[in-house]
């Protein structure tokens, strides 16, 4: 087998630029196990396997890629799993902390980051290549039109670094968009200081109608609080008249959303 055919359904665009591949691998700090998601034809894997400071595991959903990798990289025997990262029970493979690295398929990159959040206390570091606009959204600060759900949820637990942009000519087949590499490093936060489930609900609900003032999308949550507290219609109206509800979601920082969550609790 000389090469793997890129499959559109899997969002595959194989990185071919060796300098970029090495730069991505160099961005990963060692000293812990690492999982490469979607190794494809092994352009990152070849450099990861050289690193003595990383105990590497890999997961690949494409059986054609799995055959290719095992043929061309004997060192992957016992390290490479065939399967869907999104379905993987990570705690069964990594009892302790581990890092994640990969050229993430565009069509599931957001889902990968949501899964990282589910394991945030086990994953202190992520180095990933994603669509440029996704990278910008994740790294963006409040006040920007691209600041959104992933920005808030990831920045609550991770420091985000936009490392570098990668042009479409570095891939086969070339994607129609530019890509970018970002690094997530777990911050020191151990608690949000609010109900974490409600925090996620508030963030997702607020950005569900991002062009409107937050009293519109968050009114059902405010009504639920009014019901719990036995408020009158007038008290509910006074509550929704608080300044925070006149803002749009992209104006609020992580700390602002924490305060808002406590307000709605």
Report the DSSP pairing between strands 99-103 and 34-37: parallel
Per-residue H/E/C for 52-94? CCCCEEEEECCHHHHHHHHHHCHHHCCCEEECCHHHCCHHHHC
Choose among 231, 211, 190: nearest CA to 264: 231
Number of other residues whose CB lies within 10 A of the CB of residue 28: 22
- The per-residue pLDDT for 57 is 97
pLDDT tens sequence across 69-114: 999 999 999 999 999 999 999 999 999 999 999 999 888 999 999 9
Choose among 186, 193, 179: nearest CA to 160: 186
Q: What is the largest CA-CA distance in the chain?
A: 72
Mean pLDDT for 146-155 is 96
Number of other residues whose CB lies within 10 A of the CB of residue 205: 18
Contact 167, 155 (CB under 8 A): no
pLDDT tens sequence across 47-73: 999 999 999 999 999 999 999 999 999
Residue 1 has pLDDT above 50, yes or no: no
If DSSP codes are grouped into helix, strand and coil, which group holds residue 164?
A: strand
What is the per-residue DSSP string for 217-242? TTHHHHHHHHHHHT--HHHHHHHHTS
pLDDT tens sequence across 181-234: 999 999 999 999 999 999 999 999 999 988 889 999 999 999 999 999 999 999
- Report phi then psi at 241, rounded to 5: -85, -5
- Measured CA to CA, the distance from residue 30 to residue 71 in angstroms comes to 26
**pLDDT band at 10; cut points 50, 70, 90:** low
The dihedral region occupied by 190, where left means phi > 0, alpha psi between -120 and 50, and beta the remainder, is alpha
In the chain, the domains with their CATH numbers are: 8-186 (3.40.50.150), 196-264 (1.10.8)
| pTM across the whole model | 0.92
């Amino acid at each position: 087998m000389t090469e793997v055919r890129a499959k559109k359904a899997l969002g595959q665009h194989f990185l071919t630029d060796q300098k970029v591949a090495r730069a991505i691998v160099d961005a990963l700090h060692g000293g812990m196990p690492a999982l490469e998601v979607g190794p494809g034809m092994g352009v990152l894997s070849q450099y990861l396997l050289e690193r003595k400071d990383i105990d590497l595991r890999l997961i690949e959903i494409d059986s054609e890629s799995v055959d290719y990798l095992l043929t061309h990289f004997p060192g992957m025997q016992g390290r490479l799993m065939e399967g869907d990262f999104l379905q993987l029970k990570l705690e069964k493979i990594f009892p302790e902390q581990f890092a994640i690295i990969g050229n993430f398929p565009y069509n599931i990159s957001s889902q990968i980051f949501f899964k990282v959040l589910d394991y945030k206390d086990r994953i202190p570091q992520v180095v990933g290549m994603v669509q440029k606009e996704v990278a910008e959204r994740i790294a963006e600060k409040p006040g920007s039109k691209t600041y959104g759900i992933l920005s808030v949820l990831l920045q609550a637990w991770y420091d985000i670094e936009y490392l570098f942009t990668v042009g479409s000519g570095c891939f086969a087949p070339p994607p129609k968009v530019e890509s970018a590499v970002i690094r997530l490093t777990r911050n020191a936060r151990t608690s949000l200081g609010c109900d974490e489930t409600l925090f996620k609900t508030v963030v997702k609900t607020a950005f569900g109608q991002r062009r409107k003032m937050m009293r519109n999308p968050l009114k059902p949550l405010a009504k639920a609080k009014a019901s719990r507290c036995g408020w009158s219609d007038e008290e509910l109206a006074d509550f929704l008249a608080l300044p925070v509800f006149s803002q749009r979601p992209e104006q609020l920082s992580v700390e602002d959303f924490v305060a808002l969550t406590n307000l709605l609790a």
